[in-house]
Amino acid sequence: MSACPFPSRSGLQSGLPTIVGIPAESQPGALRRLDSDVLLRQFASVQARSRVNTAEVIVHIIEVHRRKLWRAAGRSSMYKYCIQVMHMSEAEAFRRVKAARVGQRFPVVLEAIADGRLHLTAVVLLAPHLGRDNVDELVSAASHQSRKQIEQMLAERFPKPDAPTVMRTLVHAVAANSPATSSDDVTKLALALVDTTDSGISAESMGPLAADSIASSTVQADVVATAATQIATQIVARLGGEQSGAGVVPAVAPQAILQAVTQVLERALANDPSSAQAIELHAKFTPLSPGRHCWQLTVDQESQDLMDEALDYVDLGSQAPQEVLKQALRCFVEQCRKRKFAQVARPRSQRGQANSPAAAGDTRTDARSGMPRSRHIPADVRRAVYARDGGRCTFESADGTRCDERRDLQFDHQIPFACGGRSTVENVRTLCGPHNRHEAERAFGERHVQELIRAGQRERRQAKVQKLEGEPRSPVVDE
């Protein structure tokens, strides 16, 4: 009796499993009986269907995004919709949304994905270089090419300046008196300390177009060098703690630690260009222990001068820079909260105004039209609304899913101001930018909202030109 090829804990005592959702001809038992040539032909057929399915998914993303259906589902972007509703991984959503943006401009790219000439990594690599005059040429040159081959082709067609020589000193300061170990152990520790194959942190935080900002080889080299320094520093500290008192003779010089870590990150970046986001996030904000984080950043001379002067005013010992930075951030956040949400430690007293209309919001109306006089939302209303809504978008989809966006929050009148809505706590809510526009389009129509946006853009452009020319501002006439 032959042994079962699958573990007994799967619930199978003998034979091959039947996998729910897979056609009968692709079940493990059916494949086991196929001739090798037939198996390879069927494999090629399944792969071809997979490519077509991928292209279909991207086309659906284009249309769903065009209709902005992700907003009604309580998501603030198509990228988040793919992750939270369609249950894609961050990397999967990144590549498909990116391909959708490219495919919407250049349909030939979608055709190349469907027939297998381009994989999604190729589309991501080609995206920054595609134009109407070269899209056919670049798609042809990248057809059936590996990632490395496409990178080489792009380097030849779009040469970039040499990456600068970057030297970090942090690791040397820590490693000067710390023992090292074998290069294999260093590599294992480097892989354990940063998992660049999981782009969840970066993609979730930065979105599908963020990779464009770190796409150049110059920026990537700096990102890798910064992350390598921090990881190497952690390795040195860890090895120093493990080997102290053990009488271990260092087998590798401290400089080799930095070199080994750099090689690990460079390999990760070579295998997956989108991992540059994860590396950059790791380099910027690295958690060390519960409640402790390592920040590393570059500042200009003015910032350095301000820090030097700030240190002259405090006496906090070695923790002075951290405390100065924390107090500066606290002050900045408090100013932002005060300006946008009227969040202050001691709100202005309402004595003498308790019986006035303004105490409950701006409820004054025009004597002739009966409409509210002003869009102004009083400070006490903004404070109450912000506290009630928890500093988060309040939009809910039909199934009760609430948007989780906390950025770009705006105050919205549930009964629109143009329809007589007043600036009261009951009528005002917080919405993110996309959902604020979604509600405006539901109330007034998408075309009307777009016309207002275009008019505002024309007015701002004209005001900018007139400011530069020193001319008096004149009214803007809609085209």
Q: How confident is the model at residue 421 (pLDDT cuts 50, 70, 90)?
A: confident
φ/ψ (deg, to 5) at 292: -125, 135
Span 56-61, mean pLDDT?
96
Q: How confident is the model at residue 304 (pLDDT cuts 50, 70, 90)?
A: confident
Neighbour-count burial for 12-35, b at 16+ CB within 10 Å, e otherwise: eeeeeeeeeeeeeeeeeeeeeeee
Range with lowest mean pLDDT among 43-47, 198-202, 304-308, 428-432: 198-202
Please tell me the predicted confidence (pLDDT) of residue 270: 61
CB-based contact 181:252 (threshold 8 Å): yes
Q: How confident is the model at residue 120 (pLDDT cuts 50, 70, 90)?
A: very high
- The enclosing H or E element of 436 equals helix 433-444
The pLDDT tens digits for 322-344 are: 888 888 888 888 888 888 888 77
Please tell me the predicted confidence (pLDDT) of residue 102: 94
- Residue 316, pLDDT above cutoff 60: yes
**CA-based torsion, 94, 99, 100, 105: positive or negative:** positive
Report the share of the chain in percent with pLDDT over 70: 61
Tokens coding 143: 């057809």
- Residue 87, pLDDT above cutoff 90: yes
Span 170-197, mean pLDDT?
44
Report the C-alpha gap between 22 and 46 in whole angstroms: 11
Number of alpha carbons in the 13 Å side-chain half-sphere of residue 351: 1
Report the C-alpha gap between 426 and 197 in whole angstroms: 47
Q: Would you mind telling me the total number of residues written for the chain in this entry?
A: 479
- Residue 292, pLDDT above cutoff 80: no
Report the range out of 199-213, 275-289, 385-399 with the highest average pLDDT.
385-399
CB-based contact 196:279 (threshold 8 Å): yes
Q: Please indicate, yes or no, whether the overall pTM of this predicted structure exceeds 0.85.
A: no
Span 72-93, mean pLDDT?
91
Give bridge partners of residue 429 from the DSSP assignment.
412
CA distances (Å), 113 to each of 27, 421, 435, in order? 27, 50, 32
Report the C-alpha gap between 196 and 202 in whole angstroms: 10
Report the C-alpha gap between 152 and 452 in whole angstroms: 46
